[in-house]
């Protein structure tokens, strides 16, 4: 009997059901920008004997803590706070959007469901809405960036999205790599806009301020508001000041396609001035045959990096299975020539993946 009761309770929770009680599920707090809207995620339940009374006559009312009705879904245009019932009360969905919120609307709210043969104030769970003139500062995760050169980095910028019709726009200060955005749901069903920036850390990023700016567009033509969060990149290079390259150990590529080799190098300090516009990049296979020369690339590939910045990133075109080999980088400058054989890249060209 106890086991059956436990299964029933778990099933009830998993379905977000309230199991035949008068109860509402809403967030405890929501922060809203003045001049914008707020969408309140809301679901409720009633005692089983009243379930059949949830019909087309039902309306949702939102009240201040002192009992003043500020929104009535049956007459939204004449409500003190205009808005729209987004949910379907017959399905016990009371999700509501309140528009053009102002600081004077900061208050504690509760829901009342009123039907022809049913009326109930859901006083057990209340929502506090805080309306401010300043948007919330976005959150950077991680909050600090201290890594070695060549480390894959993933920075996430998050900003609350209380107004679903006007979610914030997130922009990064610099295009270091790939950016992917999404709208995610918190545990209390409020929404958050996220933007993830991924890139490979380079010494060129050391000391750079990386910032994410959230721009909130308001309703009815009110001026947009923006706020930023930033961090300073701390990129160390344990092998700097000596002959070395940093690149992957292996890369797999599809036959007939190209391969981009992320590549950075360094030289002894006394030769750094020799790394200038005279330099060219060469790639050799394990047998010492030159397969790419940046001074005469033709159709074999393209040097995408800047050698003066010690960036030897290179794309090789039209790879074939017979090109499967180990490769190393050679730097050829006026007064400086060096084969970086201490680190080699194994390229495996497959007919298909």
Return the pLDDT at 133: 92
DSSP of 253-308: EETTS-EEE--EEE--GGGGGG-STT-EEEEEETT--EEEETTS-TTSEEE-S-GG
Return the pLDDT at 14: 34
Residue 348: helix, strand or coil by DSSP? Answer: strand
Per-residue pLDDT tens for 143-171?
999 998 888 899 999 999 999 988 999 99
Distance CA 192, CA 184 (A): 5
Return the pLDDT at 176: 81
pLDDT-based confidence at 298, cuts 50/70/90? confident
Report the pLDDT averaged over residues 330-335: 94
Return the pLDDT at 13: 39
- Percent of the chain whose pLDDT exceeds 90: 74
Identical fold for domains 16-132 and 244-350, yes or no, is yes
Distance CA 226, CA 214 (A): 5
Of 6-20, 234-248, 270-284, 294-308, the one with minimum mean pLDDT is: 6-20
pLDDT at 128 over 60: yes
Distance CA 311, CA 260 (A): 13
pLDDT at 20 over 80: no
Distance CA 304, CA 10 (A): 56
Return the pLDDT at 239: 67
* The architecture CATH gives domain 244-350: Sandwich (2.60)
Six token digits for residue 174: 């610099």
pLDDT-based confidence at 6, cuts 50/70/90? very low
Mean pLDDT, rounded, of the chain = 89
Q: What class, spelled out in words, does domain 139-236 have in CATH? A: mainly beta
Report the pLDDT averaged over residues 44-69: 94
pLDDT at 3 over 50: no
Q: How many CB atoms lie within 10 A of CB 114?
A: 17
pLDDT at 54 over 90: yes
pLDDT at 51 over 60: yes
**Contact, 94 vs 86, CB < 8 A?**
no
Distance CA 273, CA 333 (A): 10
**Contact, 138 vs 212, CB < 8 A?**
yes
What DSSP state is assigned to residue 144?
Answer: -
Return the pLDDT at 15: 37
Place of tokens 């005469």: 296
Report the pLDDT averaged over residues 78-96: 95
pLDDT at 69 over 70: yes
Return the pLDDT at 353: 54
Return the pLDDT at 331: 96
Report the pLDDT averaged over residues 287-303: 91
Residue 180: helix, strand or coil by DSSP? Answer: strand
pLDDT at 17 over 70: no
Place of tokens 């679903």: 164
40 sits in which H/E element: strand 38-40
Of 8-12, 28-32, 118-122, 271-275, the one with minimum mean pLDDT is: 8-12
Report the pLDDT averaged over residues 241-263: 91
Q: How many CB atoms lie within 10 A of CB 243?
A: 16
With CA atoms as reference, report the closest residue to 310 among 259, 242, 219: 242
Report the pLDDT averaged over residues 14-41: 83
pLDDT at 200 over 60: yes
Where are the domains positioned within the chain? 16-132, 139-236, 244-350
What is the CATH number that goes with domain 16-132? Answer: 2.60.40.10
With CA atoms as reference, report the closest residue to 61 among 141, 146, 120: 120
**Is residue 238 packed enough to be buried (19+ CB in 10 Å), middle (13-18) or exposed (0-12)?**
exposed
Q: How many CB atoms lie within 10 A of CB 80?
A: 13
Return the pLDDT at 48: 92
Report the pLDDT averaged over residues 229-234: 94
With CA atoms as reference, report the closest residue to 113 among 152, 176, 62: 62
7 sits in which H/E element: helix 2-14
CA distances from 345 to 83, 207, 246, 289 (A): 61, 30, 10, 15
Distance CA 275, CA 331 (A): 9
């Amino acid at each position: 009997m106890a086991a059956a009761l436990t299964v029933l309770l778990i099933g009830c929770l998993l379905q977000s059901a309230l199991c035949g009680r008068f109860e509402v599920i809403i967030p405890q707090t929501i922060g809203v920008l003045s001049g914008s809207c707020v969408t309140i995620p809301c679901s409720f339940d009633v005692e089983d004997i009243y379930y059949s009374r949830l019909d087309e006559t039902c309306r949702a009312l939102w009240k201040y803590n002192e009992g003043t009705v500020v929104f009535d879904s049956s007459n939204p245009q004449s409500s003190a706070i205009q808005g729209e019932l987004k949910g379907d009360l017959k399905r016990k969905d009371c999700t509501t959007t309140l528009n053009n919120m102002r600081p004077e609307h900061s208050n504690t709210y509760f829901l009342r469901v009123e039907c022809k043969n049913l009326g109930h104030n859901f006083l057990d769970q209340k929502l506090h809405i805080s309306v401010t003139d300043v948007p919330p500062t976005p959150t950077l995760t991680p909050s600090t960036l201290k890594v070695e050169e060549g480390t894959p980095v993933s920075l996430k910028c998050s900003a609350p999205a209380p107004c679903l019709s006007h979610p914030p726009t997130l922009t990064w200060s610099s295009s270091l790599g790939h950016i992917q955005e999404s709208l995610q749901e918190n545990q209390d069903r409020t929404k958050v806009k996220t933007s993830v920036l991924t890139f490979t850390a380079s010494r060129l990023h050391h000391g750079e301020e990386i910032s994410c700016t959230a721009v909130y567009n308001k309703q009815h033509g009110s001026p947009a508001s923006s706020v930023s969060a930033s961090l300073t990149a701390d990129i160390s290079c344990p092998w700097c000041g000596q002959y070395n390259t940093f690149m992957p150990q292996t890369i797999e590529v599809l036959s007939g396609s190209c391969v981009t080799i992320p590549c950075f190098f360094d030289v002894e300090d006394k030769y750094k001035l020799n790394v200038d516009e005279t330099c060219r990049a060469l790639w050799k296979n394990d047998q010492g045959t030159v397969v790419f020369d940046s001074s005469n690339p033709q159709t074999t590939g393209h040097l995408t990096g800047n050698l003066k910045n010690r960036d030897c990133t290179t794309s090789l075109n039209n790879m074939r299975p017979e090109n499967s080999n180990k490769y190393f980088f050679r730097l050829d400058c006026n007064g400086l020539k060096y084969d970086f054989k201490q680190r080699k890249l194994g390229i495996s060209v497959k007919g298909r993946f």
